[in-house]
Chains A and B, each alone.
Chain A
């Protein structure tokens, strides 16, 4: 049976179909699923195209930001309120990919893709999920990614997070061999709120350093309560690799990723351009 496409209006209807049909997958921009069809990886099943306007909603003006899962990277780049996320959005493909690639799709992109998710993880994002036939529920992104690795998630309707305190409080770097567009060797996102010159509530996330984007909790512990000076950065670099499980692929070896991660983390924390 070839691949079918089913257009559904509401998120709850789409979630119900996903729960009852194991062969059904939600179609975002198509940059992952249509590629699978072209390559013969996906030969049967159902693609659900949900046209609920809620998927495109953007609430970006206040302290709390809410983005629909269908919001594209181009929409993020066109929104001045989201300037702190522009580096992460610009790192996703070329312009023709960014007009279709969605936030929701990026949450499910296999490593070494998923750089935007890395940024969301450092923002302590939560996702609003529709799973099965019940109502919506909110789940930390970190938990959703763990569930993704185990194979069960549901339908992600939106992501929410608090706006970073200041322009310098959120930093992102994507390390790629080809610029301006290339697949990640790795990516690092850092949210570094400061209180009286000392870091309070740091969040560091890595992309392409594990099966899914992951938090660098050892680095966060090192940074907590300290000023961002040379000694702190050196200590953070020492702790950089704890908890990482990088893979070897066509872009870089596991060894190379381990070698360069502390270097780029140090540069990001020091405010230097990689």
Chain B
């Protein structure tokens, strides 16, 4: 089967790759481009550890075919920090002990970023809804919810 050319932006950099026709975006990002932040979990769209942003919208890398991403802008957790300066969400996750084993964290961060980019001042219910597709087996979710709310508050303080 002939490989197909695909071009997209990954964390602000233009990338061009050849992919297998039915290759997932997750596979392309991890194996093809060496960005190992998004993880492979269930492969069924259930756990959310592969969550990335496609044109600002949360998508599951394991269920998205790379050939459907031509010309799109892809964001992963690898692109959150600005050099040595952590993104407010990353800092809040650290501050609130929202990562234990860390396997869900890249997906959680991107689901949270999608929420805060769209809704800078979410309620607790909205945070719970935003991460409803992301499974964490360590934290019990409360530290993650608190971290996202704290990051929203922090960003609000910065804007004021």
B is a partner of A? yes
Q: Is the CB of A4 within 8 A of B21?
A: yes
Is B43 touching A38 in the complex (CB atoms < 8 A)?
yes
Q: Please report the C-alpha to C-alpha distance between residue A3 and residue B67 in the assembled complex, in whole angstroms.
A: 13
Q: How many residues of A contact B (CB 8 A)?
A: 27
Supposing A38-B24, A49-B68 touch, asked if A96 and B60 sit within 8 A by C-beta, the answer is yes
A5 interface neighbour in B51, B65, B128, B133, Cβ under 8 Å: B65
1/0 per residue, CB under 8 A from A, across B1-27: the answer is 100100000000000000011101000
Q: Chain B interface: which of A26-34, A192-200, A239-247?
A: A26-34
> Does B114 sit within 8 A of A, measured CB to CB?
yes
Q: How far is the CB of A75 from chain B (nearest CB, A)?
A: 11
- B59 on the interface (CB 8 Å rule)? yes
Residues of chain A contacted by B81 (CB below 8 angstroms): none
Q: Which of B1, B22, B45, B58 contacts A47 (CB 8 A)?
A: B22
Give Cα distance in the complex from A27 to B67, angstroms: 12
CA distance A16 to B111 in the complex (A): 39
A5 lies within 8 A of B45 (CB): no
Are B132 and A95 closer than 8 Å at their CB atoms?
yes
What range describes how many residues of B lie at the interface? 20 to 34
Given A35-B45, A38-B43, the answer on whether A2 and B63 have CB atoms closer than 8 Å is no
29 A–B contacts from the bound complex (CB under 8 Å):
A1-B1, A2-B1, A2-B22, A3-B21, A3-B22, A4-B21, A4-B22, A5-B22, A27-B65, A29-B63, A34-B63, A37-B22, A38-B43, A39-B43, A39-B44, A47-B22, A74-B57, A94-B48, A94-B132, A95-B114, A96-B45, A96-B59, A96-B60, A99-B57, A99-B59, A100-B63, A100-B64, A181-B132, A181-B133
Contact residues of B with A, CB < 8 Å? 1, 4, 20-22, 24, 43-45, 48, 51, 54, 57-60, 62-65, 67-68, 111, 114-115, 128-134
